[in-house]
Amino acid sequence: MMNTKLIALLSAAAISFPVLYAQENPDNPGEKFQSGFTEDFSKPVSKYFIQRRDNRDEAMDFRYFPGSVSLSEKGTDVMIYRIDPSDPAGAGRGPEIISKKYTTYGTYSARLRIPDVRDVQPNIGAVVGYFTYNSEPGKSLSEIDWEWLIADPEIVYIGTWTGENGQLQRIGRTINLAEGKIYYTIYRSAADGNVNHPLTGLQNQPETIPAIEGFDASRNFYTYGFDWYPDRLTWWILHPKTGERIVLWDYQGSTPDFTGIPDNRTYYRLNFWHTDNWPVETNPDSVEAPAYPFELEVDWMSYEPFKDLEK
């Protein structure tokens, strides 16, 4: 029987779109960006990612365990991330992997399971981030993200950050996938005081999404992904039973003042960190520091660049 890892990889690969971008560093012609890959984290050292150590000795850093046996899915090997309760609050202050090379337009996907904390610490403030990110002086921030506030594993946060330092801009959508409920689809900008404004029309598609029966990001692995084009962004999930690609947000066009779509090179990342000021939508008390080294399981991460059709 074909194992779950292979099925998910084949399903994710089948939905990649052919298109329109030569993978070359515009600031250094001839330097290629990262080619397509799938990292299954079966070896101690990744060919594609580095582990951020925070000045810790590798032998003493208990946060990363590649090649581990899944705690929840028989027959699956994973990378286990453990959050350190002593880590300070803040994005990027917990375990994080970062691609060794730049990435750009393409299809990104991952299969993972977030920690189940509800019976142990229901008010935890902790975030799993699956995303791209790069900040360079004089250039627009390049960030596309999936985020889970693990106090409520039915909810996902998706969106982007663009703009230069001091003038950042956000587009975002928050969804309860178990209920098929879109809480909001918004944009905001530092230029107008970071007030949330609703998105409409092409920026708000689809306007409804189907519920995924029994969705719980902490009880099961799911395959999540996004397709990044110069003029379009599509976030999606594979249905756990049918393998159907369910589009959660197909963002096109532009907001009134900015596109919302990153146009700068980036790095591919995944992290797990404590937040003390961002509670999940359904629990305003969920900002406690982690009390235990809760475990995130990552089956695989993949990247398939959109290649120039003229090649």
For the residues 103-126, what does the mean pLDDT come to? 97
Q: Considering the domain boundaries, does residue 53 fall inside one?
A: yes
Q: Is residue 27 part of a domain?
A: no
Quick check: 5 pLDDT over 60? Answer: no
| 271, two tokens | 């992290």
Q: Is residue 177 part of a domain?
A: yes
Least confident of 9-23, 134-148, 239-253: 9-23
In a domain, 30, yes or no: no
Residues 6+ apart with CB under 8 A from 237: 177, 212, 222, 223, 224, 225, 245, 246, 248
Band the pLDDT of 307: cuts 50, 70, 90. Answer: confident
Residue 19 has pLDDT above 90, yes or no: no
Predicted confidence (pLDDT) per residue in 241-294, tens digit: 999 999 999 999 777 778 999 999 999 999 999 999 999 999 999 999 999 999
Task: Find the CATH number of the domain harbouring 278.
Answer: 2.60.120.200
pTM of the complete model:
0.89
Considering the chain, what is the average pLDDT of its residues? 88
- pLDDT, position 28: 53
Per cent of the chain over pLDDT 90 is 76
Q: Does a structural domain hold residue 65?
A: yes
State the pLDDT at residue 30: 53
Q: Which domain holds residue 144?
A: 4-18+38-305
Asked whether residue 24 is assigned to any structural domain, the reply reads: no
Question: φ and ψ at 158, to 5 degrees?
Answer: -130, 150
As for how many domains the chain has, the answer is 1
Neighbours of 227 (CB within 10 A): 22
